[in-house]
Amino acid sequence: MDATLQKYIDKLNALNFKEMYEGDFFLTWDKSDDELEAVFTVADALRYMRENNISTKIFESGLGISLFRDNSTRTRFSFASACNLLGLEVQDLDEGKSQIAHGETVRETANMISFMADVIGIRDDMYIGKGHTYQKEVAEAVTQGHKDGVLEQKPTLINLQCDIDHPTQCMADMLHIIHHFGGVENLKGKKIAMTWAYSPSYGKPLSVPQGVIGLMSRFGMDVVLAHPEGYEVMPEVEEVAKANAAKTGGSFTKTNSMAEAFKDADIVYPKSWAPFAAMEKRTNLYAEGDADGIKALEKELLAQNADHKDWCCTEELMKTTKDGKALYLHCLPADINDVSCKDGEVEASVFDRYRTPLYKEASYKPYIIAAMIFLAKVKDPQTTLKALEERGIARWFQK
């Protein structure tokens, strides 16, 4: 047995993640520390095997259904890559091309697309109070369909971003942090600043900052959430972060000063988002079909944003971080000053310096998704990883 792979298996042997089998992945705070650790470990193992030309296809056939209710490049390709790595063919449910009847229940659509679906990945992040609920409904529908004998297998639901959390993004961010600092054990006491930043666009989802404070607060770090007044995130998620911090000996604090957040930070994550209250209002306006109200709100929000153009990740601010070289994170694409817009989230020179680490950060996402699927689909991951190595099918055949 390959020594590195054995190391991953040993790591898994020490963890309890039995409940993940046949499960779904909605929010990181639904999962135990062991379960998250299992995801990181399987992600590393799958990447290691691919790098060493060992096929990890566990499906000879089967579909991975994707449903994107918002545009996507990174997550779309990450999901497609993860499915492909495990042997599933992606079939996109394009609601435009579909004959989904007015009033057709979620339960019906979910079953109709799932006869041979092993996985369903959904991005639905636009409206507060909707995305997560919809994902839950789909998961319940197919669980019921499986029980009723309609579906031969229960498809696993993977949250590819909802109104509350963006677990595949934040877990990828976290795996990047872990590798950057040489292991989870080195994170205790590190300071991470999740801060708002100015963007000329409006209505960016809250799932990234919420996902970050909900996840990063579990590793004994000092998590600071910074934003101008009025850019609050969902209070429930702040409660999650507080509770996490209390349990792990870290801290969760809030500030309205970007400078304070950056001061001595080991990690900074400056990123724009819309105020939670405004997003709630927008959701209601859409529900009421109030086009004038939506336009007025948009104008108001853009004006509000413009009051905070000084919330930018500048070279000057970066100098105030730990040794002047905090790890800069972003989920991409970033609004870069004088590149994508006049004033944005980050100065071009800062972004450029971190380009390679940022791309590496993104490169973990396909493996995080694949690991989530693997753990939901394989009853005994350790034995199966070993069996895949023994099977010895090359991913890339050449002599």
Q: In whole angstroms, give the CA distance from residue 226 to residue 193.
A: 7
Strands 156-159 and 267-271: unpaired
Q: Per rule CB under 8 A, is residue 214 in the interface with a second copy? A: no
Q: In whole angstroms, give the CA distance from residue 24 to residue 7.
A: 26
Q: Per rule CB under 8 A, is residue 143 in the interface with a second copy? A: no
| The one among 23, 62, 131, 250 contacting a second copy by CB under 8 A | 62
Q: Choose between 39 and 237: whose C-beta lies nearer to a second copy.
A: 39
Q: In whole angstroms, give the CA distance from residue 213 to residue 251.
A: 11
Stretch that binds a second copy, among 7-15, 101-109, 226-234, 293-301 (CB under 8 A): 101-109
Q: Choose between 62 and 167: whose C-beta lies nearer to a second copy.
A: 62
Q: How far is CA 224 from the centre of its chain?
A: 19
Q: Per rule CB under 8 A, is residue 148 in the interface with a second copy? A: yes
Q: Which residue, 257, 263, 255, is CA-closest to 318?
A: 263
Q: Per rule CB under 8 A, is residue 87 in the interface with a second copy? A: yes
| The one among 46, 267, 373, 378 contacting a second copy by CB under 8 A | 378
DSSP letter, residue 229: T
Q: How far is the CB of 293 from a second copy (least distance, A)?
A: 26
Q: Per rule CB under 8 A, is residue 19 in the interface with a second copy? A: no
Residues touching a second copy, count (CB under 8 A)? 89
Q: Which residue, 221, 269, 276, 264, is CA-closest to 244?
A: 221
Q: How far is the CB of 353 from a second copy (least distance, A)?
A: 13
Secondary structure of residue 218 in the 3-state scheme: coil
Q: How far is the CB of 277 from a second copy (least distance, A)?
A: 25
> What are residue 288's phi and psi, to 5 degrees?
-85, -5
Q: Choose between 47 and 132: whose C-beta lies nearer to a second copy.
A: 47
Q: In whole angstroms, give the CA distance from residue 316 to residue 152.
A: 58
- Name residues whose C-beta falls within 8 Å of residue 191's C-beta, 6 or more positions apart in sequence: 221, 222, 224, 264, 265, 266, 267, 322
Q: In whole angstroms, give the CA distance from residue 235 to residue 176.
A: 27
Which structure tokens are listed for 229?
Answer: 């007044």
Q: Choose between 80 and 212: whose C-beta lies nearer to a second copy.
A: 80
> What are residue 249's phi and psi, to 5 degrees?
75, 10
Q: How far is the CB of 4 from a second copy (least distance, A)?
A: 15
Which structure tokens are listed for 365?
Answer: 């996402």
| The one among 90, 157, 329, 350 contacting a second copy by CB under 8 A | 90
Q: Choose between 261 and 336: whose C-beta lies nearer to a second copy.
A: 336
Q: Per rule CB under 8 A, is residue 151 in the interface with a second copy? A: yes
Q: In whole angstroms, give the CA distance from residue 167 to residue 73.
A: 17
DSSP letter, residue 54: B
Q: Per rule CB under 8 A, is residue 158 in the interface with a second copy? A: no
Q: Choose between 15 and 348: whose C-beta lies nearer to a second copy.
A: 348
| The one among 76, 136, 281, 322 contacting a second copy by CB under 8 A | 76
Q: Choose between 226 and 373: whose C-beta lies nearer to a second copy.
A: 373
Q: Choose between 226 and 368: whose C-beta lies nearer to a second copy.
A: 368
The footprint of a second copy on residues 317-376 (CB under 8 A) is 332-336, 339-341, 355-356, 359-360, 362-363, 365-366
Q: Choose between 238 and 345: whose C-beta lies nearer to a second copy.
A: 345
Q: How far is the CB of 375 from a second copy (least distance, A)?
A: 11
DSSP letter, residue 98: S
Residue given tokens 């730990």 in the structure block: 322
